[in-house]
Structure 1
Amino acid sequence: MKGIVQQYLATWNATGDERAALISEYWSPEATYTDPLAEASGHEGIAAIVDGVQAQFPGFVFTEVGEADAHHRQVRFRWGLGPEGAEPLVIGFDVLVLDESGRIQDVHGFLDKVPA
């Protein structure tokens, strides 16, 4: 399940056709995403959330912080968002729930560190 975390973070870092391909391959068409600031569903809704974050934090990248923990069809992990190679300015914690085919079905996100 480590691979799905990498594909999830790649989705947040990608743009255009690359991101569309990642969403199509690794996200269920009925996927839902919920965090304290946003809620979306479906491929178009997920892409719109990613667009919004990229517009708010131009040039920042998502990276995994620590190790992922998984069981059954769910995986939890911490991530950071910040300038490439620098200390993350935002740190969060997500739980991915996968569908029967191993694609992302639901994302439950939490924010642990947010800039003032």
Structure 2
Amino acid sequence: MHDFKAVASRYIDAFNAVDAVERKRLVAEVLGADVAYVDPMAAVDGHEGMDAFIAGCHRQFPGWTFTLIGEVDGHHDQARFSWGFGPAGEEPPLLGFDVIVLDGEGRIKTVFGFLDRVPAA
């Protein structure tokens, strides 16, 4: 049985890593080498793609952080959880949820992201 809450928390940690060395370490720890990520605004593959995607989030929204919201729901090798993205300590203007699928080693191999609330440009 997987500890889905721990996996989701480490995934959020990877998304919050601003330091490039720390982010690459977390990406390699949490995500499988052939990870595939897709949401309505992006589709990336592999550690390099994920690292670049996360770095881009921080360039576009400096000082914003991701937070895990609510419970993580999982069974077999898949889980879903909600998250927020916004200025630290404030109500996040961007809300979404991800569905993850784990590989045989307990790392994330697939992420299906959904956006529930996106602020106007």
Do the structures match in fold with TM over 0.5?
A: yes
| Aligned with residue 98 of structure 1, among 97, 102, 120 | 102
Secondary structure at the aligned position of 1:85 is classed as: coil
Report the CA distance between 1:52 and its aligned residue.
Answer: 1.2
Match in the other structure for 2:91? 87
* SS of structure 1 residue aligned to 2:70: strand
1:111 aligns with 2:115: yes
Q: Between Structure 1 and Structure 2, how many residues are aligned?
A: 116
1:49 equivalent in alignment to 2:42: no
In the aligned structure 2, how far is the partner of 1:109 from the partner of 1:82? 17
TM-score (norm 1): 0.97
Name the CA distance, whole Å, in 1 between partners of 2:10 and 2:99. Answer: 14
What letter corresponds to residue 99 of structure 2 in structure 1? V
User: How far is the alpha carbon of 1:65 from its aligned partner?
Assistant: 1.1
Give 5+ residue unaligned stretches, structure 2.
none
Q: TM-score, normalised by structure 2?
A: 0.94
Structure 1 partner of 2:37: 33
**5+ long unaligned stretches in structure 1:** none
Match in the other structure for 2:15:
12
**Same amino acid, percent of matched pairs:** 49
Q: Distance in 2 between matches of 1:101 and 1:33?
A: 18
- After superposition, the CA RMSD in angstroms is 0.7
Residue 55 of structure 1: how far off its partner (Å): 1.0
Instruction: State the secondary structure of the residue aligned to 2:25.
Output: helix
